[in-house]
Chain A
Amino acid sequence: MLLPLLILLVALCVALGGWAAWFVVKDRPVILNQLWGGAIVEGVLIAQAITAAIRSATHGPPSDPLLFWGYMATSLVILPVAAAWAFAERTKWSSVVLLVAALTVGFLNYRLWQIWTGV
């Protein structure tokens, strides 16, 4: 894992969550552009997973590899599933779903960093 990627990722998650929260306030459902935003977050997530895999292969695995990759898998799955689940609902509640998903992914990556650095 790379610290700049983590910072970028958490910032993107907060931005996406803020966008969704704004839509909750405005009583609007999730729009396609927000799903593209989610796709960008997912792209950074995948990049982070690849750096973690390469680093594990060359410098040895994280202190608790099973836990680490379990968290990583969870964080990769949440956004695509939540996006599909949210988009099928055409009320403001879909925006709440996106908000919850974005914050969860951000938090999970903070936890991933803790496991990675052995805190």
Chain B
Amino acid sequence: MSGPASSARRGAARSTATGFGRVLVTVYGILAFAALGRSSYELVAKFGEAPVAYALSALAAVVYVVATVALALGASPGWRRVAWVAVGVEAVGVLTVGTASLVSRDVFGESTVWSLFGQGYGYVPLVLPFVGLWWLWHTRGPAAHGDRGPDPSDGSEETTA
């Protein structure tokens, strides 16, 4: 076990932004930036061509931005809840849009970030939400064990001391 997170309160959930979370937020940030750039370009230059596809890309961009911010600030319960929702929407979105685009290539008129499960982005959009959900679950507070200190092995050490 690595060192305990520096939570302000005992037994609180760990921050989602430290350790492996640093990498996760980085990948989310890059994808958020890429999706935001793509979406503003589509909305400005050619929204009329495929409104549904470009609206979906815009939704994806917003979800990525919210997920990035929430995970980066994920030390508080409020932001953690926001992160759960954003990453959950992201997972549903990539699975729904991915499946729909697989069934009918031109269902949305144009490709979106989530088309073909994010093929255009090296399938990162498909993997990321599930890594995100795992990470949120992994860093949750030890609710089932009540208010314990950072080292649960305290008790067993006493017999040998």
Contact = CB atoms under 8 A, between A and B. Distances in A.
B25 interface: yes
A100 B23 contact: yes
B22 interface: yes
Interface string A96-117: 1100110010000000000000
Contacts, number: 50
Interface string A80-110: 0110011001010110110011001000000
Contacts of A101: 26, 30
A70 B37 contact: yes
What does DSSP make chain B's interface, helix, strand, loop or mixed?
A: helix
B106 to A, nearest CB: 22
Contacts of A94: 22
A111 to B, nearest CB: 10
A70 B23 contact: no
Interface string B19-33: 111110111011001
Contacts of B33: 74, 77-78
A102 to B, nearest CB: 11
B contact residues, range: 10 to 19
A19 interface: no
B3 to A, nearest CB: 9
A66 B39 CA distance: 12
Interface in B1-45: 18-23, 25-27, 29-30, 33-34, 37-38, 40-41, 44-45
B25 A100 contact: no
A86 B45 contact: no
Contacts of A77: 33
Interface string A49-92: 00000000000000000110011011001100110011001010
What does DSSP make chain A's interface, helix, strand, loop or mixed?
A: helix
Interface string B93-118: 00000000000000000000000000
A100 B45 contact: no
A82 B25 CA distance: 10
B23 A104 contact: no
Contact of A66 (B18, B25, B27, B41): B41
A67 to B, nearest CB: 6
9 contacts: A66-B45, A70-B40, A71-B37, A77-B33, A85-B29, A89-B22, A91-B18, A91-B22, A104-B30
Given A74-B37, A86-B26, 8 more contacts: A71-B37, A73-B37, A74-B34, A78-B30, A85-B29, A93-B19, A96-B22, A97-B26
Interface of B: 18-23, 25-27, 29-30, 33-34, 37-38, 40-41, 44-45
